[in-house]
Amino acid sequence: MSDVIVDTVPEPVKTGWFTPFNFIAGIILAGGAIILGIRFTQGLAATTNLSNTYPWGLWIGFDVMSGVALAAGGFVTSTAVYLFGMKEYKPVVRAALLTGFLGYFLVVLGLLADLGRPWRLPYPFIKSPGPTSPLFEVSLCVALYLTVLFIETTPAVFEWLGLKKFRKVVGGMTIALTIFGLILSTMHQSTLGAMFMVAPTRLHPLWYSGHIPVHFFVSAVAAGLAMVIVEGMVSHRAFHHQIQITQDHFRRINFGLAKAASVALAIYFSIKVIALATEDEWHLLGTGWGAYWLLEVLGFVLLPCLLFAVGYRERRLPVVRVAAVITVIGIMLNRFNVTFIAFNWNNPTAETYIPSWMEIWVTVAFIIFAVVVFRWIANRMPIMYEHPDWKGVH
């Protein structure tokens, strides 16, 4: 990374079409398209191991539940910069918003793959039980927030295309969009957890709680902060020619994010223990499920919390990055546990759910698709740097 801020637009890196990454990505994407074709023509039974006992699997657990949490970095960083005036973090806002937009777009793709019948997407708004339904709230907020994220990413497009009038109009909406996005994110991040409150006998007591909406929201904040660090780590290598902030500034951003993530994880760990105490489930810790719960909470919540704190205090960036990776894995593990691993834990038929290879392939294809789109946009548009004509402007 350069130690000098440059006032020019970096040239995109020109690579040929036939690169090892493009070749592998093309195979994965083509395979995913074929599997989705089979899914939409022959149904879920032909491509998944879902059943009436396990109606939600990998596509919901990862593409939706995990995807929404990991995309929370968009509203967290934009709120910090535009509402709380933490301008030091502005260099990572656009990358976080783009990651958030692509994450929510994958949520929609995952829902389409799982639910099918895309022409019924408007149904939750016109045929749902009403605004008291968690599914109604999630559908409405995700749709609105995806729209907000799209608008928040358009300034980079307008700067790239030289459309100054459109850029000025959208720039004037920054504060309003940030507030609206914060409200929407707070609502649907927690409501995703609220959906499981209707299944107190299906979800294991160690994961079920009357406060599970709070658990989902707080853990999403930690996941979003960790994902910004992970994305920055990857972007630092892939787009180093575009990053125009100093090395010291880049490190300060990461340490600031680590401090916030440590606090968020500490709060999350505390409310998990408080829920365990108030619901008097201590005796379950002596079971096999209890040992597994301790692995999740101690290994993927408390451990990265302490690593973030140590990395921040000792100014050790590798420790911060390790903590961020552990946090991302831990959030996905938690969402998997809630969605299908600890679901139907006392099923008398002993039926289990293991994702089919087709489910895994489609999930990997979605991730590759997001990486390809992110790389294409970031390599051409002012995502990692400020456009010279718009320095210091929202």
What b/e string do you get for 235-257 counting C-beta neighbours within 10 Å, with b at 16 or more?
A: beebbeebbbbeeebbeebbbbb
Residue 46, token pair as written in the block: 């032909």
Q: Which residue has the tokens 């599970």?
A: 212
Residue 322, token pair as written in the block: 């390790």
- Looking at the domain assignment, is residue 135 inside a domain? yes
DSSP 219-277: HHHHHHHHHHHHHHHHHHHHSTTT--S-HHHHHHHHHHHHHHHHHHHHHHHHHHHHHHH
Q: Using CA atoms, how far apart are residues 386 and 196, in angstroms rounded to an integer?
A: 42
- Looking at the domain assignment, is residue 217 inside a domain? yes
- Looking at the domain assignment, is residue 172 inside a domain? yes
pLDDT of 24 reads 93
pLDDT of 130 reads 66
- Looking at the domain assignment, is residue 393 inside a domain? no
Domains identified in the chain, total number: 1
How far is residue 265 from each of residues 146, 199, 215, 258, measured CA to CA in Å? Answer: 26, 26, 11, 10
Domain range spanning residue 35? 21-381
Cα angle 241, 246, 250; round to 5: 95
Give Cα 279 to chain centroid, integer Å. 29
Which phi and psi (to 5°) does residue 343 adopt?
Answer: -90, 140
Q: Using CA atoms, how far apart are residues 117 and 150, in angstroms rounded to an integer?
A: 24
What b/e string do you get for 318-334 counting C-beta neighbours within 10 Å, with b at 16 or more?
A: ebbbbbbebbbebbbbb
- Looking at the domain assignment, is residue 364 inside a domain? yes
- Looking at the domain assignment, is residue 182 inside a domain? yes
By the 8 A CB rule, do 350 and 81 touch?
Answer: no
Q: Which residues, in sequence order, are CB contacts of 162 under 8 Å at separation 6+?
A: none
DSSP 93-138: HHHHHHHHHHHHHHHHHHHHHHH--GGGTTHHHHSSS-TT-HHHHH
- Looking at the domain assignment, is residue 14 inside a domain? no
Q: Using CA atoms, how far apart are residues 68 and 100, in angstroms rounded to an integer?
A: 8
- Residue 377 maps to which CATH number? 1.20.1630.10
pLDDT of 10 reads 63
Q: Using CA atoms, how far apart are residues 260 and 204, in angstroms rounded to an integer?
A: 30
**Other C-beta atoms within 10 Å of 160: how many?**
16
- Looking at the domain assignment, is residue 9 inside a domain? no
By the 8 A CB rule, do 331 and 70 touch?
Answer: yes
pLDDT string in tens for the chain (394-residue length)? 344 444 566 666 666 677 888 899 999 999 999 999 999 999 889 999 988 888 889 999 988 899 888 888 888 999 998 888 888 888 889 899 999 999 899 888 888 888 887 877 777 777 666 666 777 888 888 888 899 999 999 999 998 888 889 989 988 898 999 999 889 888 888 888 888 888 888 899 999 988 899 999 999 999 999 999 998 888 888 777 777 778 888 899 999 999 999 999 999 999 999 999 998 889 999 999 999 999 999 999 999 999 999 999 999 999 999 999 999 999 999 999 999 899 888 876 667 889 999 999 999 999 999 999 998 898 888 888 777 776 766 6
Question: Can you tell me whether residue 356 is helix, strand or coil?
Answer: coil
pLDDT of 52 reads 84
Q: Using CA atoms, how far apart are residues 99 and 149, in angstroms rounded to an integer?
A: 10
DSSP 180-204: HHHHHHHHHHHHHHHGGGG-TTTB-
